[in-house]
C-alpha cells in the first residue's frame, strides 16, 4: 500500500510519526555535525557514555512517561500488557488484534522499534499493518524505554526480545500463530539475533528488516566520524553482519531507504548480500530516509505480499 492509497487519517497519523522520529534523528546527527573540538569530547565519552548515545530512550522529551495508547489512533481491539523478564524487569507491551476471521488472522507480527521513542510512537505503523494486511501485531517495549523498567543494553534487550517471543508461544491465543519478526533500525539488529536463535522452532515464518546496520562498530564512523579509530571501545556491538548468515531457514525481506542519513544504505545492501537463506527479497525505497521509508510508495504493499507468501492467507 502506498501513501496515496492510505486513508487520510492513516496518512496523517503516519506523517506525524515520521515528523516526530525525524526530530530525534536530528539529535542523532549532532555528533557528526559538531565542531572538531566538541566531537573530540564526544569521542572521549564513547566508552563511558555510549549507552546514553546508543539508547536515547528519553528522546523525544517525555518519551519515558508519555506513551500514546492504541485507542488514540482508533484502535479498539487491543490489550495493554506488563510482561516480566527472567532477570526481574517488567516490560510494557501492546497486543493488537486484526480483524477476526479475516485473512492472516492466524499470523502475528512481532515489532521491534528503533533506538529512540517508544512503542506508542509506532502505533500508526501497527494500525496500517492490521488494517491492510489483516494480521495481529505485538509491540514490545525494551527495558528502559517507555513504561518498561530497567536500563537498556545489548544483553538486556536481547533477553527482552526472547521474553516477547516466549510470551507469544505460550499464550493460548497466539501459540499456534505463524510469527513474523519485524525490526526497524536497532530493532533490526534485535530481530536478527532473535531469529537466528529461534529459527528451528518452526513458527517463525518471516523476518522483515528496515534500515538496520551491519554492527554498531561499523555504524560509529557514520554517526561520530572522529571516533572511527576508536570503534573497538564500543561494547554494545550488535554484530548483525556475523549473525545474519546463520539464518538459513527463515525468508527475509529487506526494506532499504536509499536516502538514509543515519545508517548508510550500503549496510542494508551488504546484509542482503550476506544472507544465506533461500528466500531473500530486496526492496529499495528511493526517496526514503531513516524514518520516512514507511511513507514510500510500495512499502506496505511489499510487506503485505511478503506476509501472504510466507504465512498464507488463512482464516480462523
Strand partners, 78: 96
Task: Quickly tell me which residue has 550500503 as its cell.
Answer: 266
pLDDT at 7 over 70: no
Q: Can you say how many angstroms the Cα of residue 75 is from the centroid of all Cα atoms in its chain?
A: 20
Q: H or E element: which one contains 182? A: strand 178-184
Q: What per-residue confidence (pLDDT) applies to 23?
A: 61
Dist CA 271 CA 196 (whole Å) = 14
- Buried b or exposed e, range 14-43, using 16+ CB within 10 angstroms: bbebbebbeebbeebeebbebeeeebeebb
Phi, psi of 133 (to 5 degrees): -95, -30
Dist CA 206 CA 197 (whole Å) = 14
Q: How confident is the model at residue 229 (pLDDT cuts 50, 70, 90)?
A: low
Dist CA 77 CA 56 (whole Å) = 31
Lowest model confidence (mean pLDDT) among 169-178, 214-223, 289-298: 214-223
- Cβ 130 vs Cβ 136: under 8 Å: yes
State the chain's mean pLDDT as an integer. Answer: 89
Q: Please indicate whether residue 185 is annotated as part of the active site.
A: yes
pTM (predicted TM-score): 0.90
Of the residues 113, 121, 177, 290, which is catalytic? 290
Of the residues 260, 289, 292, 304, which is catalytic? 260
Q: Please indicate whether residue 121 is annotated as part of the active site.
A: no
Q: What per-residue confidence (pLDDT) applies to 301?
A: 96
Residue among 206, 296, 297 nearest 260 (CA): 296
Of the residues 57, 92, 148, 185, which is catalytic? 185
Q: Please indicate whether residue 12 is annotated as part of the active site.
A: no
Contact residues for 110 (Cβ-Cβ < 8 A; gap 6+): 138, 140, 164, 165, 168, 179, 180, 181, 182
- Dump pLDDT digits (tens) for 245-278: 999 999 999 999 999 999 999 999 999 999 999 9
Amino acid at each position: 500500500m502506498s501513501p496515496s492509497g492510505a486513508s487520510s487519517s492513516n496518512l496523517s497519523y503516519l506523517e506525524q510519526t515520521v515528523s516526530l522520529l525525524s526530530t530525534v534523528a536530528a539529535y542523532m546527527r549532532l555528533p557528526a555535525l559538531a565542531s572538531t573540538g566538541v566531537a573530540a569530547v564526544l569521542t572521549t565519552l564513547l566508552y563511558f557514555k555510549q549507552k546514553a548515545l546508543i539508547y536515547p530512550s528519553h528522546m523525544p522529551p517525555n518519551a519515558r512517561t508519555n506513551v500514546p495508547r492504541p485507542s488514540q489512533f482508533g484502535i479498539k481491539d487491543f490489550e495493554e500488557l506488563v510482561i516480566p523478564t527472567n532477570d526481574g524487569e517488567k516490560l510494557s507491551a501492546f497486543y493488537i488484534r486484526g480483524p477476526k476471521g479475516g485473512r492472516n488472522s492466524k499470523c502475528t507480527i512481532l515489532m521491534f522499534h528503533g533506538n529512540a521513542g517508544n512503542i506508542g510512537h509506532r502505533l500508526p505503523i501497527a494500525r496500517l499493518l492490521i488494517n491492510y494486511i489483516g494480521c495481529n501485531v505485538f509491540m514490545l517495549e525494551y527495558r528502559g524505554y517507555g513504561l518498561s523498567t530497567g536500563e537498556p543494553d545489548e544483553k538486556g534487550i536481547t533477553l527482552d526480545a526472547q521474553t516477547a517471543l516466549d510470551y507469544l508461544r505460550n499464550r493460548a491465543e497466539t501459540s499456534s500463530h505463524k510469527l513474523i519478526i519485524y525490526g526497524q533500525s536497532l530493532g533490526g539488529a534485535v530481530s536478527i539475533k532473535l531469529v537466528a536463535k529461534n529459527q528451528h522452532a518452526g513458527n517463525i515464518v518471516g523476518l522483515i528488516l528496515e534500515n538496520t546496520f551491519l554492527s554498531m562498530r561499523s555504524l560509529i564512523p557514520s554517526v561520530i566520524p572522529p571516533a572511527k579509530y576508536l570503534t573497538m571501545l564500543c561494547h554494545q556491538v550488535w554484530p548483525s553482519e556475523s549473525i545474519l548468515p546463520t539464518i538459513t531457514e527463515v525468508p527475509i525481506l529487506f526494506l532499504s531507504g536509499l536516502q538514509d542519513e543515519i545508517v548508510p544504505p550500503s549496510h542494508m545492501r551488504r546484509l542482503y548480500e550476506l544472507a544465506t537463506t533461500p528466500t531473500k527479497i530486496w526492496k529499495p525505497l528511493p526517496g526514503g530516509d531513516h524514518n520516512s521509508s514507511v511513507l514510500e510508495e510500495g512499502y506496505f504493499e511489499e510487506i503485505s505480499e511478503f506476509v501472504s507468501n510466507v504465512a498464507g492467507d488463512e482464516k480462523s
